[in-house]
């Protein structure tokens, strides 16, 4: 389990290295920030599309070699990104990394779901989802701290970490499909996905809502990759140099993401409510994403002043910022608001993961996850691209950093239709769970009575 958590974390580290370094990479290649943002958009889309092929292969074949291959591909692409000598080379390296990254999350999700009993899926999936949030946080921090003087350094460091994690995974055992399902206790589960199973997957109405909700949710989440840019712009507006402002933006964005750690609470609440009603997980996710909207809006407009040593080392700037969390009320208020908003939206991921495992048999989980991830990727890429366009359009009426604040606030309202779709999923989940559990129980009984082969 630890190895899968590390792998899930590292792929999110790699995905989130670029946004805090938009300005630095753009200056090095003599292109606009929009060109570098395009690389992030392309990465989101390609990784989401590639995930379907990886997930199908994982649901059809032995999962261990599939996961190793995906990891090695993203490691190669990330290393290439740190060595690329031109913008086209950098863009191609991000494409290669995205292809590999698509395989890690979808295949490892299917494996992890086989390690967890249904009663504790929300809690354990919160740790798995938290590892991805930690990856986002670490990626943002590494980019700002290691990349403030040389933007290439964090890419090479993460690639090396990926090699170490891959070596560790080689030593783990291959988890049997359906290993944690009570209906399959003591039974070797040999079912595999086939190309004609898609209609069966989509007949589970809950799957449709779980897949579609990611589009609007990820438009909002995709816009949040610009948080480091917002706080960098605020620092520059206060007169700080670009190098110092990059560190400030990355550190503040990292601190604000600490609320994601409270996804554990969302998973626990989902588990507890699920034992009372099959609608429990979906309702927890619905309430969380909708209730977070006003807190995000407040976060982007809370004014704050920072006092850090301009031109100082990364360590000096980071320590100064941490000190002001306790000494500067506006900084402390911003942090508290961000943590609460992220805690609410973080109830989404563990319950989404658990719901996919609840309503689908083991041989379908990776593919359903990848379909949801595809829609997530389209929404995330759309949010990232559209918010960049919104910033440019708003700049005429609202000079930086106000244009960033207005644009980000507007995009958080996409969480509202996400909440509605979770509520719709809560109305169909009981039937879909019952059908899946009945099918697994029938398989288990059939295998138990099957005569042993003659010698």
Maximum C-alpha span of the chain: 82
Q: Map residue 331 onto helix, strand or coil.
A: helix
The tens digit of pLDDT for each residue in 295-332 reads: 988 888 877 788 888 887 778 888 888 888 888 888 88
Quickly state the pLDDT bin for 216 (edges 50, 70, 90). Answer: very high
Q: Hey, what CATH class is 2-176+201-449 in?
A: mainly alpha
Residue 429 confidence (pLDDT) above 60: yes
The tens digit of pLDDT for each residue in 179-205 reads: 777 777 677 777 788 878 888 888 899
Q: What are phi and psi of 184, to 5 degrees?
A: -110, 15
Give the integer Cα–Cα distance in Å for 142 and 153: 9
- What's the pLDDT at 455? 46
CB of 364 within 8 A of CB of 193? yes
The tens digit of pLDDT for each residue in 3-56 reads: 666 776 777 788 778 878 887 888 888 888 778 888 877 887 788 788 888 888
What are the extents of the domains in the chain?
Answer: 2-176+201-449
Give the integer Cα–Cα distance in Å for 180 and 361: 12
When mean pLDDT is compared over 29-38, 94-103, 255-264, the highest value belongs to: 94-103
- What's the pLDDT at 447? 60
Give the integer Cα–Cα distance in Å for 336 and 259: 9
Residue 269 confidence (pLDDT) above 80: yes
The tens digit of pLDDT for each residue in 217-258 reads: 988 887 887 888 888 888 888 888 888 888 888 788 777 777
């Amino acid at each position: 389990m630890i190895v899968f958590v590390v792998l899930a974390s590292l792929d999110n580290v790699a995905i989130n290295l670029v946004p805090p370094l938009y300005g630095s990479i753009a200056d090095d290649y003599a292109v606009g920030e929009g060109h570098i943002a395009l690389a992030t958009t392309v990465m989101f889309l390609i990784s989401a599309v590639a995930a379907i092929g990886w997930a199908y292969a994982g649901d059809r074949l032995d999962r261990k070699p599939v996961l190793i291959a995906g990891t090695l591909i993203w490691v190669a692409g990330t290393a290439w990104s740190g060595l690329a000598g031109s913008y086209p080379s950098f863009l191609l390296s991000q494409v290669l990394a995205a292809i590999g990254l698509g395989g890690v999350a979808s295949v490892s999700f299917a494996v992890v779901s086989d390690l967890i009993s249904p009663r504790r899926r929300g809690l354990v999936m919160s740790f798995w989802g938290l590892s991805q949030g930690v990856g986002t946080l670490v990626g943002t921090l590494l980019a700002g701290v290691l990349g403030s003087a040389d933007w290439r350094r964090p890419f090479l460091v993460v690639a090396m970490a990926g090699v170490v994690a891959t070596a560790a995974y080689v030593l783990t055992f291959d988890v049997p499909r359906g290993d944690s399902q009570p209906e399959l206790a003591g039974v070797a589960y040999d079912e595999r996905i086939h190309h004609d199973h898609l209609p069966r997957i989509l007949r589970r109405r809950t799957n449709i809502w779980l897949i579609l909700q990611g589009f609007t949710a990820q438009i909002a989440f995709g816009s949040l990759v610009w948080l480091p840019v917002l706080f960098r712009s605020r620092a520059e507006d206060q007169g700080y140099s670009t190098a110092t402002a990059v560190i400030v933006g990355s550190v503040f964005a990292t601190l604000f993401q600490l609320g994601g750690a409270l996804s554990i609470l969302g998973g626990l609440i989902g588990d507890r409510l699920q034992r009372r009603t099959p609608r429990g997980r979906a309702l927890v996710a619905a309430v969380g994403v909708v209730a977070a909207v006003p807190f995000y809006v407040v976060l982007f407009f809370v004014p704050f002043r920072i006092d850090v040593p301009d031109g100082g080392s990364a360590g000096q700037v980071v320590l100064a910022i941490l000190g002001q969390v306790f000494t500067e009320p506006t900084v402390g208020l911003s942090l508290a608001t961000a943590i609460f908003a992220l805690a609410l939206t973080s109830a989404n991921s563990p319950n989404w993961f658990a719901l996919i495992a609840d309503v689908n048999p083991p041989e379908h989980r990776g593919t359903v996850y990848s379909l949801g991830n595809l829609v997530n990727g389209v929404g995330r890429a759309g949010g990232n691209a559209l918010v960049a366009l919104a910033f440019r359009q708003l700049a005429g009426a609202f000079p930086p950093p106000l244009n960033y604040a207005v644009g980000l606030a507007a995009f958080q309202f996409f969480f509202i239709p996400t909440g509605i779709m979770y509520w719709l999923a809560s109305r169909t989940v009981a039937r879909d769970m019952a059908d899946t559990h009945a099918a697994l129980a029938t398989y288990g009984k059939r295998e138990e009575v099957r005569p042993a082969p003659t010698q």
